[in-house]
Structure 1
Amino acid sequence: MVERAPRVRASELTGRNWLNTGGKELTWSDLRGKIVILDFWSFCCINCLHVLDELRPLEEEFSDILVTVGVHSPKFEHEADPEALAAAVDRYDLRHPVLDDPELGTWQAYTARAWPTLVVVDPEGYVVAHLSGEGHVQGLVSLVHELAEEHEAKGTLHRGSGPYVPRPKQEGVLSFPGKINALPAELRSPDADDQTYLVTDTGRHRVVELDSSLEKVLRAWGGNDKGYEDGTSDEARFNEPQGLAIVPERLRDSVGYDVLVADSVNHRLRGIELGTGKVSTVAGNGVQRLLDAEGARTGDPNVIDPAADPLTVSLSSPWDVLWSDAIEAFVVAMAGTHQIFSFDPVAGTVQVLAGTGAEGLLDGPAADAWFAQSSGLAQAPDGTVWVADSETSAVRKIAFDEGGPTVTSVVGQGLFDFGFRDGSSEEARLQHCLGVAVLPDQSVAIADTYNGAVRRWDPVAKELTTLARDLAEPSDVLLEDRGEGNDPLLLVVEANAHQVVRLPIPKEAQRVDEGASQTQRPPSLLAGDTLEIVSRFSAPTGQKLDDRWGDPTQLKVSATPPEFIVEGSGAQQGLTRTLTLNPDITDAVLHVTARAAACDGEPGGEIPDHAACHLYQQDWGIPVRVTGNEEDEHTMTLDLRGVN
């Protein structure tokens, strides 16, 4: 049984609007008799998208007694746009009611501190569990069974359909397209008489070849139903494919495919042999990567056995791919672990190229750098790889020097800083950028997604300017070389308009300054001097802490700026930590990662041989403000898996 705290009545669900209810505003009286999971999410957050997929089989298994209510709690300004939220509900095929909570009223009523947070409410309207992060499905299954038995016996469980009402579906050539790439002449469809383009038709879970008009599909791989299946173009199934890269011609015969696809929700890299239509899996075992077995013990997410078969390596939401001439391998934006990977198809190796796995913005040697949901890649002629780092609204670059790869940011300040402002590195602001492309003068075009704009970074002038506005969530950009005597154009994947459009590249760009912003999420108020961090964890029913090699829990704590923490930062075993705070700094962001390992087995007993083991992990980025008021927080409690 899950340990329960004294019963607390669930707070009212307040917000601006409801989606997927046919226009009805839901109250707890409408949900009485159902087990309810409140899923606090934002559509920018990769961890939230993981949880949406984790909950789908649970919702299907318990469809007559369980109702998921998505409480959308925005981080970015754009996410508070009701049309953008409605598009996200359609894009991610949500089949449960969604409450639009732009002012974070319900978020604060349930004391959520991180995206995602799950709150379980019993059929009588009482909170029974409060969970943060991913990986809680097994525990939720046990809890739902327990609640169903308990309330069936009491007569308080009501079976039957829930309040979900589907929305009308969009029709068109594309559905929420993700990324684009140009096909060389030898790989184009036999029906093509001009340049053609590969596009990930993400909303329909397929890859398509468009003709030069960008409006006609010549060939397609995959189908309208999400899934995972290798085989012919008709048999194959993808799940929200994103980035794609052309395999260098000299390697196509030896590796057996022409195009590499980042199959994001399947956590795999897939290969397509365009001539035969064959789709195959070339990397990833389909299990979402948190840490590998050794990394779980050492806390080092960079540990991948170089001899491991790529098909045995866990990946996490690969979002974009490109071939790097500098390292003779593919570069992969691994959004789910906030890292950059490499994949060598000849040697058959997957490795971490950059990033520790910590979520944030930190430059320096690639092995020490921090990224935040990197989602777009482009290569410059000198081999530099440009990165659209979406959650920090930043443009980063990876340079391959003699001393090893290094990471530098040209635009971006951190997890909670964004806006729409042209200017220098210090002044300029983006908002959740997803794509980058290198222009003929070596400047960089940026799909500034949540600003609905295309921006340009000039590395000589060191200035950001704006090329185009009023676009519907541009998710990628690609330079279109139209041959000698013709000015190049920019192809823009306009995801929420379900199309690819052409834009001129002007010689002079307009200057924009609509200001810099920070996330509207209110800071946690701290009394000051010291702060105790406590992460609560309770192993699910049927599991026990894996203490065979010592304490299986760990807290990793840091801050932006780093000097905010005088003592107590770093990674240590245990789920409690006392921090000494710098009295000269009042505003900061705390970065906390909690981990716990548990295995199948009964508490107090031995862990059976070959028992399945599970790693629970959650990252928090928490804006804080030191007030000096003794009534404010001295202890910050973060639920990795606990009860309310």
Structure 2
Amino acid sequence: MTRVGFLEGFGLDVKKVCESGRRGGLGVCKRSRLVLRVRNRNLDDVRLDEKEEDDDVQEGSGLEDSDVIIVSRRELLAAIFAAFGFTSTILAAQRYSSIRRWSFTAFRGVLRERYPPTSGNSVALARFMMEGIKNGPIANLKNLTWINVQPPRLKDRLLLVHIWRMSDVRTMDIMARLEKVIFGMKKELSGAVATLSVHCAKFDSERIPPFIQEAAEEMRWRHSVASDTDLSLWKSIGVEAWPTILILSPNDHRVLVALTGDRIGRLEECLYASLSLYKKAQLQTSSFPLPKVMKPSMTWDAPLLRYPSRIAIDTKGGRLFISDSGNSRILVTTLEGRFLMQIGGSARTDPMDAEVAQHVLYSEGENEGYRDGSFQDALFKNPQGIAFNALKNELAVADTGNNCLRIANLEERSVRSVNFVSSIKDAGAKELTTKRMTSPKPWDVSVSSGNVYISLAGSNTIWRLDPFGDMIHFCGRTGVAGRVDVESGYGGGLFARPNGMCGKQSSLFVVDSDSSTVREIGLGEKAVRTVVGGDSIFLGNLSA
């Protein structure tokens, strides 16, 4: 293709082309050369003109040296590809927050090399950690912003580092497991191991220190909390997911072992193995600085509600249901706020107002738990979403802390549980077996046409409890996070930490938090679509 033909292919107006003196198909004129003139810097005004080499240009032709750009096919292609690459890079950097978390260390999979060996042999585990003392990646703790304590002295201690983010619904469960292990090893640890939670934000709004402090206080953490604002710790060792548990060596802070997912269950044996590498004289035994925790008041001056999360209304009966998550109970009042009853939690009498005090709870520690039964005997743990089922006069409760759905029968004044059960087929087995899901994290509920729909933020799925009492996996894929819309068939749709829900007869609307979208599930056409939000260019972006 000649240079002229190439430019004509781009829709440029070739006014004159030298017809003589072509050399071997190269498209080069003997007495002229092709020039590109740009008027007013507008691509619509781009035209191709001819300039005589003998400089015999008439006055008034309007062609000035400053107007002329000589181009070749190679130069034009290079300019197009360079502009495309530059624009794509800028868009990707702006829209993909995950690029800020990318590091060459993670690309090489350095941290994955510190996952403990699958063998349960304690000798092999100790040998693996010994190798980490010499070759493990060094965690950069120098740029941490300390949230609830003054910068502590980190030398001469093993460090148990919990990497988390406030928008992760699994945070409370993971921390509860950590505290259980630490409490069980209290004598062995004896100050030689310091626990700290380091917040690594996924979204920009999570990077603000006061928000991190509020989240830590809400979860009543009694250990040091820091923020990796510039992600220096994250990048230095190549962290790839939340939550991640690290055991770091004293002083140089090399990663002895890294635990993610199901590996977190091996924390206790990893702590014992790491302690065996050091003599007690090598480690500090003095207490690590702890934050001042404001304990909930045990007096009757405490507030009635503590971190309430959801409400539901019985318009016909004039009742307001309040999910009092911080006190792990459900309060029922009139629409004017007059107290009617309490569902779950313990009660104590107060001589000043015994009628109200027998229902209202203020103290901590007596209300949290898991137990079915009457309204007085039942116990919840951090209940979140609630929805009133007018057809059955029941209240559906997403009991997040207990990982199950609770149904409060308002006629019988009793509470029962409905668990989320998945069907699995073990290797070599001929039939499916049922197994209760370990951490589905039900977050919200909605009632439509007698069906109760539940969003499971922990498993990225939507479930349905039909009027006959059958619990059905309704939409999404267990353990797979994403943003995928489908026109027919619920099975292909993907969600990323679905939580808030509301519905009408033909549609169910879901807040899909990790994709920053609101999704609609068409109950009639069996479709999943995005209503608003999310990344309009990179549809798979879960950091929008």
Q: Which TM-score tier does this pair reach, normalised by the shorter chain?
A: 0.5 to 0.7
**Cα deviation, residue 185, structure 1:** 4.7
Counting only pairs closer than 5 Å after superposition, residues 508-587 of structure 1 correspond to structure 2 as none
**Under a length normalisation based on structure 1, what TM-score does the superposition of the two structures give?**
0.54
Aligned counterpart for 1:89 among listed residues 216, 220, 231:
216
Counting only pairs closer than 5 Å after superposition, residues 135-534 of structure 1 correspond to structure 2 as 135-151=262-278, 153=279, 155-159=281-285, 161-169=287-295, 171-186=302-317, 195-214=318-337, 218-222=341-345, 224-225=364-365, 226-249=368-391, 251=392, 258-275=394-411, 277-284=413-420, 293-294=424-425, 312=436, 314=438, 316-325=440-449, 328-344=450-466, 346-355=468-477, 357-364=479-486, 365-380=489-504, 382-402=505-525, 405-414=526-535
Aligned counterpart for 2:151 among listed residues 25, 33, 53:
25
Counterpart code for 1:240: N
- Give SS of 1:60's match: helix
**Cα deviation, residue 410, structure 1:** 1.2
Counterpart code for 2:332: E
CA distance in 1, matches of 2:262, 2:219: 19
Count the aligned residue pairs. Answer: 384
**Cα deviation, residue 154, structure 1:** 5.3
Counterpart code for 2:441: S
Deviation sequence 1:596-621 (CA, Å, 0-9, x none): xxxxxxxxxxxxxxxxxxxxxxxxx7
**Root-mean-square deviation (CA), in Å?**
3.2
Classify 1:168/1:232 alpha carbon distance in 2 versus 1 (closer, same or farther; 3 Å).
same
Aligned counterpart for 2:164 among listed residues 38, 41, 65:
41
Asked whether the 8 Å contact 2:474–2:490 carries over to 1, the reply is: no
Classify 1:312/1:344 alpha carbon distance in 2 versus 1 (closer, same or farther; 3 Å).
farther
**Cα deviation, residue 359, structure 1:** 0.8
Deviation sequence 1:21-62 (CA, Å, 0-9, x none): 3xx212322xx23x3221111100124444223222112222
CA distance in 1, matches of 2:314, 2:543: 44
- Give SS of 1:359's match: coil
**Cα deviation, residue 232, structure 1:** 3.4
Counterpart code for 2:146: W
**Cα deviation, residue 261, structure 1:** 0.8
Counterpart code for 2:507: T
**Cα deviation, residue 216, structure 1:** 5.7
Asked whether the 8 Å contact 1:333–1:341 carries over to 2, the reply is: yes
**Cα deviation, residue 399, structure 1:** 0.4
Classify 1:132/1:6 alpha carbon distance in 2 versus 1 (closer, same or farther; 3 Å).
closer
Match of 2:175 in 1: 52
**Cα deviation, residue 71, structure 1:** 0.5
- Give SS of 1:84's match: helix
Gap runs ≥5 in structure 1: 187-194, 253-257, 286-290, 415-425, 428-559, 563-588, 590-620, 624-644
**Cα deviation, residue 124, structure 1:** 5.6
CA distance in 1, matches of 2:195, 2:144: 18
CA distance in 1, matches of 2:148, 2:240: 26
Classify 1:622/1:262 alpha carbon distance in 2 versus 1 (closer, same or farther; 3 Å).
closer
Asked whether the 8 Å contact 1:313–1:350 carries over to 2, the reply is: no
Higher relative contact order (CA 8 A, sep 6+): 1
Deviation sequence 1:117-145 (CA, Å, 0-9, x none): 22112456543444353333431111112
1:80 aligned to 2:207? Answer: yes
Deviation sequence 1:478-502 (CA, Å, 0-9, x none): xxxxxxxxxxxxxxxxxxxxxxxxx
**Cα deviation, residue 105, structure 1:** 2.3
1:119 aligned to 2:249? Answer: no
Asked whether the 8 Å contact 2:514–2:543 carries over to 1, the reply is: no
Match of 1:536 in 2: none
Q: Which has the higher helix share?
A: 2
**Cα deviation, residue 368, structure 1:** 0.6
CA distance in 2, matches of 1:127, 1:277: 56
- Give SS of 1:179's match: strand
Q: Which has the higher strand share?
A: 1
CA distance in 2, matches of 1:109, 1:234: 52
**Under a length normalisation based on structure 2, what TM-score does the superposition of the two structures give?**
0.63
Deviation sequence 1:191-226 (CA, Å, 0-9, x none): xxxx33112111222222244345867534225433
CA distance in 2, matches of 1:248, 1:314: 31
Q: Percent identity?
A: 22
**Cα deviation, residue 297, structure 1:** 6.4
Counting only pairs closer than 5 Å after superposition, residues 587-602 of structure 1 correspond to structure 2 as none
Asked whether the 8 Å contact 1:247–1:323 carries over to 2, the reply is: yes
Deviation sequence 1:295-318 (CA, Å, 0-9, x none): x769xxxx987xx6xx95556100
Counterpart code for 2:238: T
**Cα deviation, residue 79, structure 1:** 1.1
